[in-house]
Structure 1
Amino acid sequence: MGQDLLLGIDIGTYESKGVLTTPQGKVIAQATIAHKLLFPRAGWAEHDPELTWWGDFCNLSKQLLATDGVSPSDIKGVGVSAIGPDVLPIDENFNPLRMGILYGVDTRAVEEIDELNAIYGEDTIFNATANTLSSQSTGPKILWIKKNEPEVYKKARWFVDATTFIVARLTSRVVVDHFSAGTMVPMYDPWKNQWSDKYCKEILDINQLPELMWSHELAGHIIESASKATGLAVGTPVSVGTIDAGAEALSVSVTQPGELMMMYGSTIFMIQVTDNDQARDKRLWAGPYLFPGTWCLLAGMATSGSLTRWFKDNFAKELVAAEEAGGENAYAVLVKEAAATPPGAEGVVVLPYFSGERTPVMDPRAKGMIFGLSLTHTRGHIFRSILEGMGHGFKQHVDLFTAIGARPHAIKSVGGGTKNAVWLQAVSDISGVPQEVAPLTFGASYGDALLAGVAVGLVSSPEEIRVWQGKPTIVQPDPSLAPTYAPLSEIYSNLYQSTKESMHKLHELGY
């Protein structure tokens, strides 16, 4: 006898995840595939779209369909999300014309940002799009392709992100949701919910952009070639989907104004829903949320899990070797070392700008820093200070949200970093705000399944995610630590301002 199931798949920075759920949110099966992030040059970050984006989707789909008692006909809806905003030129047959250029961790288009600001004016772009140009923006990266890879540019039928690419392969329809389009600065008008021809002209032909829809709408149905590659039945409905951060926010029931998602992933990403489409600031991003009539503020720090991974791989090699030999998890040992270190890391302060920085400094030329070291400090001090650096950065954002009249009333945390109790507690202690950690942490793929359910009518509304999730765990800040952390937060902010010129000089020298 058949059953109704929903398939959600998310393509992340270092791994991809998939879930099979019932329309009531019960997870029947899940699967994960690790993959590589490519750094072909300093400041560049890429994925292989064929191998990683499409390949992971196909492999996860087949793995989940191999679950006992599951057949392709049981899948009543498919939801997709992926990293973004990223840039991929494709031809008319949806074939990639180069590697996928990733989101803000890729800082190659610095000159193009300056060029577009010179053409249009920074204030003009901000007033037209609710955003300033940054390493997160896709417009400058498309312009970079136009200038540096003209043959690729000439062959491109569309410029898409990873989600659009996968959905096109599945359905032969090239669509993007409004939330994702809002990150495609300066080409999208967030108030009219349409592409802006005025701001496309210097970058590409407006017809090279995908069709605009909402994330929970139906994009199309599985075509025959996709059925062969994925194991899904021909005709299975596919929702439009979204960027991973949007699906992740939905997965922890961020749907109402004042609710903010704090995503501890390879980077930190924040999404706060607001009922005010004028709540914006040049140090943040803004645009429509996942559903009609919604608005959100977005923020992101360029390194997070990628920085803890860098530290582990370079300064804890013996722990990695011990883990590979069957010993304790290397991260777990580092967390113990951090836990044994006093809050404040005895004066060590880390600027986590190891791949430039996104919000609030919007500086792709920014450099990472470990400040305040002495001969008394240990590896545990430095690892703790890395975690606390994210807390100082988060506090900057909470202060900024508050200053523009959009202080969040609920912080909902999600991602791999939520498994690290020291990190969670430090972020709350430094920022002074509690965090809610949802009981189900399947991530963006879980939100994808819900979007698929709404698209096919098996889930009544996105608000059903609250029923799916249940009661969260609360991480409360320790007010007794405020005197320890407040001066360190001030030092954190001052460090960037006082060394910015030197950082930029290093960038000019090619470092």
Structure 2
Amino acid sequence: MIPHAVIGVDIGTSSSKGVLVGPDGTLLRSAVREHAVDRPAPGHVEMDAAVWWEEFGSLVRELTADGAPPVGAVGVSGMGPCVLLTDADDVPLRPAILYGVDTRATEQITRLTDRFGEEEIRARCGSGLSSQAAGAKIAWVADEEPEVFARARRLYMPSSWLVRRLTGAYVLDHHSASQTTPLYDTTARTWYAPWAELICPDLELPPLRWSGEAAGTVTAEAARLTGLPAGIPVVTGTVDAWAEALSVGAHSVGDLMLMYGTTMFLVHTVPDLLTAPALWSTVGALPGTRNLAGGMATSGAVTGWLRDLTGAPDYADLLREADASGTGANGLLMLPYFAGERTPLMDPEARGVLAGLTLSHTRGDLYRAALEATAYGVRHNIEAIEAVGGDIRRVVAVGGGTQGRLWTQIVSDVTGREQEVRTTSIGASYGGALLAAQLLGDVSADDWNPVRETVVPDPEAAAEYAELYGLYRDLYPATADVVHALAARQSR
């Protein structure tokens, strides 16, 4: 057992979460700070990096107040890949551009793809250029904000920004770097200088480390600001979905992690490099691992939107109403593409569709349709993973959406897959704490976070969902021209 408690903090899309975890993996305390992203223009999704550091300090002070046990290490993670550009003195030059939900760089994606070649980019970087590619967003800043770009000297993401503020180290983990397409070579596992020099010649790209490696130790100044002990180690950290996978031990070959959050994310661990136009191929969070990943642009974001729109007091009420609605949501079918769609459509101009509405439909039917829409999207991604050679042997669910059981049951019924749910499913912050604990001693996710339950598909519901899934797949091509025209009007 490790000698001290550890802290994990994750900077997410809609909130920052922190946990204080005991030496045996017990969740001692947790805290949350909600926040909102900025959407200054259609397709633009940003956040002020000052929020990340302010909320980190606030979370840590709460977690360590009133007789908390001594803290021996800190783990960090965050949404990504993001683009935070600073000057040489680490002053942010503009708000951070967020991951694939930000779709602004379509022109840069086309130009860079034409210049370097789609197949060459995929062969070298693992993935083609899409809204997920941080390198294309750096190119957008160069094109659209040249006065900002002329002053830019460093590149950060939420986890590496926290590391910088805590330790003074300028580093980035290999996994995050592998999502800066086309700047990182996934075979050589290093920055690819020829393309980096063309896209961002004046940026000092950060030295690379693995997620679980120590980035440095808490400085005296950071200790003063946060209340953490000076000198304790801080992990390099990684993107939130990969920290979530680590938190539930889903990083062995054949594992698939499903992250139920503001967006739905899938991470499948593979033995060798697999590439596909409709998925992302990355290096893993741990040395020697590779992943094939997918991500929906919205999932929990849609359920949150429905809660606010309908004035529901809380999610528990909505879940009860959705459960009463029953399989198929009384004939409603939703496309959950409210912010475009990432994998496997790769269509930033996709939009949400709700088909089959009548005056008799209820709030519970709408909420059920949203949960089912996410499940259909998961199945679509699983089929895309397997079509290119993925071999899914185990599915592990994690994140806030695993609470209440209904959503995970619907996903199992739609996909026909069992899902493990671990004792602690709080997600990335717990994964950061696990990485921190591993700096202090020999700790495994299976010991820290054992399986709590296994969600098993219901054969009767699965048979009904098989028919509905066919309608779901038909609905996108049937409505694509209309929603693309509407998307064009929205961007005027």
Contact 1:267 1:301 in 2 (8 A): yes
Question: C-alpha separation between the residues in 1 aligned to 2:43 and 2:344?
Answer: 19
Instruction: Tell me how far apart the structure 2 counterparts of residues 404 and 120 of structure 1 sit (CA, whole Å).
Output: 23
1 CA distance for matches of 2:209 and 2:438? 14
Give the AA of the match of 1:471.
Answer: V
Number of the residue aligned with 2:406 = 422
Name 2:29's counterpart in structure 1: 29
Shift of 1:404: 2.2
AA aligned to 1:184 is: T
CA contact (8 A) 1:263 1:269 kept: yes
Q: When the two structures are superposed, what TM-score results if normalisation uses the length of structure 1? A: 0.92
Residue aligned with 1:155, SS:
coil
Matched with 2:453 is 473
Deviations 1:153-184 (A, max 9, x none): 11111122111111111111111111111111
Give the one of 176, 184, 196 matched to 1:200.
Answer: 196
Counterparts of 1:385 and 1:360, CA distance in 2: 20
- Number of residue pairs the alignment of both structures matches: 490
Aligned residue runs from structure 1 range 315-354, under 5 A = 316-317=310-311, 319=312, 323=313, 330-354=314-338
List per-residue Cα deviations over 1:102-153 (Å, max 9, x = no partner): 1111111122211211222222211221101111111111111111111211
**Alignment of 1:252 onto 2:248:** yes
2:480 alignment partner in structure 1: 500
Corresponding residue for residue 442 of structure 2: 460
Structure 2 distance, partners of 1:116, 1:508, is 23
Name the residue aligned to 1:311: 306
What residue in structure 2 maps to residue 299 of structure 1?
294
In 2, the alpha carbon distance for the partners of 1:56 and 1:383 equals 31
The superposition leaves residues 78-107 of structure 1 with CA deviations (integer Å, 9 ceiling, x where unpaired) of 111111111100122222111111111111
Match of 2:84 among 80, 83, 88: 88
Following TM superposition, by how much is the alpha carbon of 1:5 offset from its aligned partner in structure 2, in angstroms?
2.2
Matches within 5 A, 1:112-511: 112-205=108-201, 207-277=203-273, 279-314=274-309, 316-317=310-311, 319=312, 323=313, 330-455=314-439, 458-460=440-442, 464-511=444-491
- Deviations 1:240-286 (CA, angstroms, capped at 9, x unpaired): 01111111111111121111110000000111111122x22111111
CA distance in 2, matches of 1:497, 1:206: 43
User: Whole-Å Cα distance in 2 between the matches of residues 336 and 407 of structure 1?
Assistant: 35
CA 1:57 to 1:45, structure 2 compared with 1: closer, same or farther past 3 Å? same
Q: Is the 8 A contact 2:152 2:203 kept in 1?
A: no
Please tell me whether the aligned partners of residues 94 and 169 of structure 1 are also in contact (alpha carbons under 8 angstroms). no
Query: CA RMSD, aligned part only?
Result: 1.7
What is the alpha-carbon distance in structure 2 between the residues aligned to residue 392 and residue 36 of structure 1? 27
- SS of residue paired to 1:219: strand
Once the two structures are aligned, what percentage of the paired residues are identical? 41
Partner of 1:326 in structure 2?
none
Shift of residue 69, structure 1, vs aligned partner: 4.4
- Residue type of the alignment partner of 1:43: G
Unaligned runs of 5+ in 1: 324-329
Q: 3-state SS of the aligned residue for 1:199?
A: helix
Q: Which AA in structure 2 matches 1:56? A: E
2:318 alignment partner, SS class: helix
Instruction: Assess if the C-alpha contact under 8 Å between 1:23 and 1:459 holds in 2.
Output: no
Contact 2:3–2:23 (Cα < 8 Å) also in 1? no
The CA deviation at 1:236 is 1.8
Q: What is the Cα deviation at residue 13 of structure 1?
A: 1.2
2:50 aligned with 1:17: no
> Is there any run of 5+ residues in structure 2 with no aligned partner, and where?
none
Q: Spell out structure 1 runs of 4+ moving beyond 4 A.
A: none
